[in-house]
Structure 1
Amino acid sequence: MSAQILLLRGINVGGHGKLPMADLRAMLDDLGAGGAKTHLQSGNAVCPTPINPGDLADRIEAVHGFRRDIIALTAEDWRKRIATNPFPTGLPKTLHGYFHDDAAIDTAPMEAPRDPTEALSSHPGVLWLHTPNGFGTSKLASKIERLAGEPMTARNWNTIAAITTLIDNLGLHQILCQPRDIPAQNAYILRK
Structure 2
Amino acid sequence: MTAYVALLRAVNVGGTGKLPMTELAAMCEKIGFEKVKTYIASGNVVFTSGKSEAAVKAALEKAMHDYAGKAVGVMVRTAAEMTAIAKANPFPKAPGNRVVAILLDDKPPKDAANEARHIDGEEIELGKREIYVRYTDEGMAGSKLVIPAAKTGTARNMNTIAKLAEMAGALA
Aligned to 1:87: 91
In 1: Cα distance, 2:40 partner to 2:150 partner: 27
Give, in angstroms, the shift of residue 97 of structure 1: 0.6
| Aligned match for 2:119, one of 89, 114, 119 | 114
Give, in angstroms, the shift of residue 118 of structure 1: 1.8
State yes or no: 1:137 paired with 2:142: yes
What TM-score results when the alignment is normalised by the length of structure 2? 0.86
CA 168–74 in structure 1, closer or farther in 2 if over 3 Å, else same: closer
Aligned to 1:167: 168
Give, in angstroms, the shift of residue 57 of structure 1: 2.0
Aligned to 1:59: 63
Aligned to 1:126: 130
- The alignment-based identity, stated in percent, is 32
Aligned to 2:158: 157
Give, in angstroms, the shift of residue 120 of structure 1: 0.9
Q: C-alpha deviations, 1:49-92, integer Å up to 9, x for none?
A: 25532222222222333320111112222223332211025522
Give, in angstroms, the shift of residue 169 of structure 1: 2.9
SS of the residue 1:102 aligns to: coil
Aligned to 1:185: none
Aligned to 2:76: 72
Give, in angstroms, the shift of residue 153 of structure 1: 0.3
Aligned to 1:21: 21
Aligned residues: CA RMSD: 1.8
Higher CA-based Rg: 1
What TM-score results when the alignment is normalised by the length of structure 1? 0.78
How many residue pairs match? The answer is 165
CA 9–149 in structure 1, closer or farther in 2 if over 3 Å, else same: closer
Q: Which runs of 5+ in 1 are unaligned?
A: 173-192
Contact 2:101 2:157 in 1 (8 A): yes
In 2: Cα distance, 1:53 partner to 1:21 partner: 18
CA 89–48 in structure 1, closer or farther in 2 if over 3 Å, else same: farther
CA 89–155 in structure 1, closer or farther in 2 if over 3 Å, else same: farther
Q: C-alpha deviations, 1:129-183, integer Å up to 9, x for none?
A: 001322211111xx22xx226411000112112101212332x1xxxxxxxxxxx
Q: Which runs of 5+ in 2 are unaligned?
A: none
